[in-house]
């Protein structure tokens, strides 16, 4: 059938097919670019923020450990002012940690990420219970024992 077409019709049909393929390739390129942009936006808006909160929470856990040590050592040395300031900082750090964990959980899309956040909260809960126990020991005049126990 194509043999019966005129040369102009054959060239025109070929040109139309090339233009159609070019348009399909352009559409695929636009779709790919939008997909990449969407993934990048997700990374910037969610993953980077979650990483920022995680790093901040990690820093807070270190700070909380040292504040606890400061409270115990302040009690051993009889420095009530240092003990009060360290306890205030510890409360603030615990509150900030909870806020960070709420943000991490809200930004987590995968069940594994939410489970990791829940395990970290449980660990901090256990640490908080131990801290209360140590604070009770300090209040009962067993500061040295509390210091020794906090090392374990």
pLDDT tens readout for residues 89-114: 999 999 999 999 999 988 888 888 88
Q: Which residue has the tokens 């936006």?
A: 41
Q: What is the mean pLDDT of residues 16-29?
A: 92
Give the C-alpha separation, 146 to 152, whole Å: 10
Confidence of residue 120 (pLDDT cuts 50, 70, 90): confident
Q: Is 35 helix (H, G, I), strand (E, B) or coil?
A: helix
Please tell me which residue, 85 or 151, carries the higher pLDDT value: 85
Give the C-alpha separation, 129 to 135, whole Å: 10
Tokens of 12: 């025109």
Confidence of residue 24 (pLDDT cuts 50, 70, 90): very high
Give the C-alpha separation, 134 to 126, whole Å: 12
DSSP state of 109: -
Is the overall model pTM greater than 0.75, yes or no?
no
Give the C-alpha separation, 87 to 82, whole Å: 8
Residue 145 pLDDT: 84
Q: What is the mean pLDDT of residues 123-141?
A: 86
Confidence of residue 2 (pLDDT cuts 50, 70, 90): low
* Percent of the chain's residues with pLDDT above 70: 98
Give the C-alpha separation, 105 to 1, whole Å: 66
Residue 85 pLDDT: 94
């Amino acid at each position: 059938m194509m043999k019966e077409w005129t040369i102009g019709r054959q060239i025109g049909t070929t040109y139309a097919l090339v233009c159609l393929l070019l348009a399909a390739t352009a559409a695929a390129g636009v779709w790919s670019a939008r997909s990449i942009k969407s993934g990048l936006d997700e990374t910037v808006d969610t993953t980077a923020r979650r990483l920022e909160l995680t790093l901040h929470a990690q820093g807070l856990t270190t700070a909380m450990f040292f504040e606890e040590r400061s409270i115990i050592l302040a009690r051993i040395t009889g420095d009530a002012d240092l003990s009060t300031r360290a306890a205030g900082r510890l409360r603030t750090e615990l509150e900030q940690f909870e806020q960070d964990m709420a943000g991490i959980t809200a930004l987590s899309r995968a069940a594994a990420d939410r489970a990791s956040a829940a395990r970290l909260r449980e660990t901090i809960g256990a640490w908080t219970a131990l801290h209360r126990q140590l604070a009770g020991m300090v209040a009962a005049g067993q500061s040295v024992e509390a210091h020794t126990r906090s090392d374990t």
